[in-house]
Amino acid sequence: MSFHSPFRNMFAREGIFSEQGTQGALSMELTMKIEGMKIYDLEQPRFAGMPSFPALTPPYHYGLHRRHSDTYNPEQSGPRSGASAILSPDHSGTHVDAICHQADELKLMGDVAVAPGVESPHGFTQLAAETIAPFFTQGFMLDVAHFKGAPALEENYAITAEDLEGAMKAQGRLLMPGGVILIRTGFGQFWNDAAKYGKAAGLSPDANRWVLAKNPRAVGADNLAWDALGVRDETTGATLSGHLELLARRGIYIFENLNLEELAANHVDHFLFIAAPLKLKGATAAPVRPLAIEIQMQSSEFMQP
């Protein structure tokens, strides 16, 4: 009983890594079957015009200015490269918020005052994106859209604690502390329709408190902002109250703009969650392409009520 046993088949000589398999690396198929182990890709594709908050400026952009033909020299088989630069808000596309993204009374998590030396022209010197350790832990998805019997929740719907409790029970899941809790609104399917996606459902203040009680290492959703937009928490007076409570007060990471559609289509709600956010020094968020691998186990192992 050891770590490497499942990999024995994976690397078998006659296995998937034939030359044909290598060719497959060029295909658009972004989920791989490795001897029955499917890897789910939770990142939305990145392109100019993808959904984003209007306040996040300048928006995502990629313009190709170095073309293959610019310096083509057949005698020397080259140069023959194209390249360019991306411009992207740190909170653009699928990303995870760094702890420094939010302040509580102008203090970061851990009572760190927002002062020169902490907040600088080139970002934060504490709790910024480069301090986020890779995620390699169990993940759970609560499919609230499915629980409510709809392909997607209603526009601008504020998910309640009751919705989350109901989905958890319907799915028969016990959320483990230290894991990652992902909430599905169903709006991930509208990624190519920025106007529609901008009206995605999000979490109400009481739903945030329900999540906090589960003591996760991180949370995430298939919407722009995790929180329901425009809802003010009576206790704190805050909008986007989850951001205040999770990031600034508890140090719990928030993933946004996840693609949970394929997990949902395959009824996968418990998985190994792997995410390695880019170490952008000073940044308030990091783009990331999280992966999920289904965990198959007897419910008796983890799921006692």
The interface with its own copies within residues 5-44 (CB under 8 A) comprises 5-8, 10-11, 13, 15-19, 21-32, 34, 36-37, 39, 41, 43-44
**Distance between CA atoms of 225 and 51, rounded to whole angstroms?**
11
Look at the alpha carbons of 31, 146, 239, 242 in this order and tell me if their dihedral is positive or negative: negative
Nearer to its own copies, 120 or 155 (CB): 120
Does 151 participate in binding its own copies (rule CB under 8 A)?
Answer: no
Nearer to its own copies, 185 or 284 (CB): 284
Does 119 participate in binding its own copies (rule CB under 8 A)?
Answer: yes
Nearer to its own copies, 13 or 195 (CB): 13
Does 305 participate in binding its own copies (rule CB under 8 A)?
Answer: no
Does 125 participate in binding its own copies (rule CB under 8 A)?
Answer: no
Least distance in angstroms from the C-beta of 149 to its own copies:
31
Query: Between residue 74 and residue 103, which ones bind its own copies under the rule CB under 8 A?
Result: 74-93, 99-103
**Distance between CA atoms of 71 and 81, rounded to whole angstroms?**
9
Q: How many CB atoms lie within 10 A of CB 275?
A: 26
Query: Between residue 272 and residue 301, which ones bind its own copies under the rule CB under 8 A?
Result: 272, 274-285, 287-291, 295-297, 301
Query: Between residue 210 and residue 249, which ones bind its own copies under the rule CB under 8 A?
Result: 215-218, 232-233, 236-241, 243-244, 248
Q: Are 175 and 214 in contact (CB under 8 A)?
A: yes
Q: Are 233 and 247 in contact (CB under 8 A)?
A: no
Near its own copies by CB under 8 A: residue from 114, 161, 229, 231: 114
Tokens of 202: 């999000």
Q: Among residues 81, 85, 87, 78, which one has the least CA distance to residue 64?
A: 85
Q: Are 283 and 99 in contact (CB under 8 A)?
A: no
Nearer to its own copies, 149 or 237 (CB): 237
**Distance between CA atoms of 249 and 99, rounded to whole angstroms?**
9
SS3 state at 40: strand
Query: Between residue 162 and residue 191, which ones bind its own copies under the rule CB under 8 A?
Result: 176-179
Does 266 participate in binding its own copies (rule CB under 8 A)?
Answer: no
